[in-house]
Amino acid sequence: MVVENQAKWCVGSEDDKVVIRLNRNVVIISGVVIASLVGISIFFSSDIYQSTSQSDSVKITMHLWPGYYHSFIAQERGFFQDEGVNVELVINENIDDSLQYFKEGKADAAFGLQSDAMLLFAEGVPLKIVYIADFSNGGDVIVSKPDIKTIADLKGKTVSVDKLNGFNHIFLVELLRINGLEESDVKIVPIIASQVPDALEAGIIDAGQTWEPYQSRVIDNGYRLLATSAETPGIITDVLMFDSKFVEERPDDIKKILRSLDRALKYRNIDYIGSYGIMSDATGVSPSDLKRTIGGNIFPDLEENKESFTESEKSTSLYSSGKIISDFFLDKGVISAPINLKDLLATEIIMEI
């Protein structure tokens, strides 16, 4: 179904217009026109993007992360409609708002990180993971001072992560582990990704976890790209989670959605210009910015999804990455017992497609 009511949010002159940049947690807004914030809030209201208002529609919420935007291609190109399912796509400004929207029962499903889905599940939120949207494959990075040449050189150094006990913290700890270091070998401090360039310049940190566009700014200033998420495949995984009751009552509709998303990924590879135009129109992000972010991720098709839903030692298996994440949360005291991954994963859905 076609995305309706596409909003135009750039206001003011070319010099002072509001610019929205994306990351996994927040919308970074630069500009001087405070009044434009009203327009942005309207743009992201839950009434903007919807296919139908019928009672049998499926509402999916997401935050501003391009790893999910092929869902707009599925909507615009009529793939959901072809499969016989009504889908309503809702954008929330950041991941916390999106997950809260899902927790409150305002949506049937949510795109989000595997680690976030696991935490919600541990809190007692009835949900099932049904699909992997993307694996970070270089989109998340560690940058450092020039004299630090390897992860092992971080011993005794101060390293920042965007959020303590978040996916970025898990990413860093796993990088340390595979390079022979323990978390206690470094001093980890919380600094949001957008402030990493300034923190390096000020000497507050020796290295930091960040992503584009801040990664390019750091490198342009002479700092080093020390490591990327390509070295920890599966640790940063974006998934689609559904309410457990919905999974029980409407599994066929979920399969229709997953087939539609798979068609959208294939279409994106065939019609590059048209696809990026659809995603840009739906979100207000330029095709060039979308390309840069999407290029740092792997988007598994249905067969690759099936492999990742299979219990194995491969790092891209949700069981393998899930154990690492569960152990991390246990060690930090965030959860009191290991997370039962077999109860969390709706493996039968993807396997029956």
pLDDT, position 23: 53
Instruction: Answer yes or no: do 200 and 285 share one domain.
Output: no
- Total-model pTM: 0.84
- Number of domains within the chain: 2
Instruction: Answer yes or no: do 243 and 310 share one domain.
Output: yes
Instruction: Answer yes or no: do 334 and 252 share one domain.
Output: yes
Chain position carrying tokens 């309410």: 243
Instruction: Answer yes or no: do 211 and 340 share one domain.
Output: no
Instruction: Answer yes or no: do 177 and 247 share one domain.
Output: no
**Residue ranges in the chain whose pLDDT is less than 50:** 1-21, 26-54
In-domain check, residue 3:
no
pLDDT, position 177: 96
Q: Which of 189, 207, 231 is the last residue of a domain?
A: 231
Domain of residue 70, residue span: 19-135+236-351
Contact (Cβ atoms closer than 8 angstroms) between residue 344 and residue 242: no
Instruction: Answer yes or no: do 261 and 335 share one domain.
Output: yes
Instruction: Answer yes or no: do 211 and 68 share one domain.
Output: no
284: DSSP letter: -
Q: Looking at residue 93, which CATH number applies to its domain? A: 3.40.190.10
pLDDT, position 78: 98
Type of residue found at 226: L
Contact (Cβ atoms closer than 8 angstroms) between residue 92 and residue 101: yes
In-domain check, residue 5:
no
291: DSSP letter: H
In-domain check, residue 105:
yes
Cα dihedral sign for 253, 254, 259, 263? positive
Instruction: Answer yes or no: do 30 and 131 share one domain.
Output: yes
pLDDT, position 232: 96
Instruction: Answer yes or no: do 92 and 203 share one domain.
Output: no
pLDDT, position 30: 36
Instruction: Answer yes or no: do 342 and 248 share one domain.
Output: yes
Cα–Cα separations (whole angstroms), residue 102 to 60, 90, 168, 238, 243: 8, 11, 22, 16, 8
Work out the percent of the chain whose per-residue pLDDT is above 90.
80
- H runs (alpha helix) in the chain: 36-43, 70-76, 79-83, 95-103, 114-122, 167-178, 196-201, 214-220, 244-249, 251-270, 272-283, 287-294, 302-308, 318-332, 341-344, 347-351
